[in-house]
Amino acid sequence: MLIAPASTVLFIGDSITDAGRDPAGEATPWNPRAGTGHGYVSLVEAWFGATRPADRLRVINRGTSGHTVRDLAARWQTDVLAPAPDWVSIMIGINDVWRQFDTPLRTDLHVPLAEYRATLEDLVSRTRPRVKGLVLATPFVIEPHRADPMRAAMDAYGAVMRELAAAHDAVFVDTQAAFDAITPHTHPMTLAWDRIHPNTTGHLILARAFLGALGAL
């Protein structure tokens, strides 16, 4: 696996990463399940604990529901750089795209592709020299029809993640491809009622994609 023993891994993103996490971002003795939420981050953390207990890998969740890349930029110093993690994983872009479709008249909430790219480029450029490893994961919509307007837009934002990962020696996680491998066999609503917020099966698909990209499977 790419992550060395005794490493701290910090995940940041939107509600998919948040998944009901404790605001502190870590478990506590009196509430051990609250720390990393109930989504893919908690599943990755559980996999570390179940299969590599001697590695003593610490997982921090800094996902926040509803956030876009603009919000990440505003809290980057306190939520990402200040904890000084060894690895940082970024999955953002769903709300950047979604707001263009569910609130089309609220253009102040829309994050254009050019802004998304420039903001991520800045965050990645500032962070990569300070960490041992960086993970960049695509945003996704669980929609198999690529001509669907929201799916097409999400693919364009995902392409930015792919490009930045290649340019900055980051691990790339194609979450969209992970769901695309499943949807020929099951309807999207069996994974997420709104095509965005996964159930446990959907989060396990995400966790497997992250672990696979990290060489853990």
Q: Which residues does the annotation mark as catalytic?
A: 15, 194, 197
The residues, any chain, with a CB within 8 Å of residue 41's CB and separated by 6 or more, are 11, 17, 19, 21, 59, 61, 63
Cβ 180 vs Cβ 141: under 8 Å: no
Phi, then psi, of 123 in degrees rounded to 5: -65, -45
Total residues belonging to the chain: 217
Strands lying side by side in the sheet with 133-137: 58-63, 8-13, 87-91, 133-137, 171-173
Residue 206's nearest CA partner among 51, 61, 42 is 42
State the DSSP H helix or E strand holding residue 149, giving kind and residue range, or none if neither: helix 149-167
Judge contact between 80 and 30, C-beta under 8 A. no
Q: What is the end-to-end Cα distance of the chain in Å, rounded?
A: 8
Structure tokens at 18: 């948040």
